[in-house]
Amino acid sequence: PDHADADAPVHPFNNGFSKKLENHIHAVALRFLYCNWCRPHGTLTKRNRGYKTTPAMAAGLTNQMWRVEHIVALVERREQKSK
């Protein structure tokens, strides 16, 4: 599938590894956001009669599958507030 890299574990030799704990925490948070809000899950999609469904949609937190641009906008808004 086109999301296979999202399921790959993060190892020290991957580009996604960070030696700084704070950066690692942020990277993990972004990955969780992507997997729960942007990435449709097969089992949830099957239960929803083929309509692509994310865990956030299944939980009733949103009615649409987010795009990465939504996450980028959230990060940018948070950065603006902290200035």
Task: Write out residues in the chain with pLDDT < 50, as ranges.
Answer: 1
pLDDT value of residue 69: 94
Q: How far is CA 83 from CA 71, 75, 76, in A?
A: 19, 13, 11
What is the value of pTM for the model shown?
A: 0.69
Going by the DSSP 8-state scheme, the letter that residue 8 receives in this structure is S
Which residue, chain included where needed, has tokens 């902290």? 82
What does the pLDDT read at residue 12?
Answer: 56
* Total residue length of the chain: 83
Q: In this structure, what DSSP letter does residue 17 have?
A: -
Cβ(38)–Cβ(54) under 8 Å?
Answer: yes
Q: What pLDDT is recorded for position 24?
A: 82
Separation CA 72–CA 58 (nearest Å): 22
The predicted structure's pLDDT at residue 16:
56
- pLDDT for residue 1: 45
User: Residue 17's pLDDT is what?
Assistant: 58
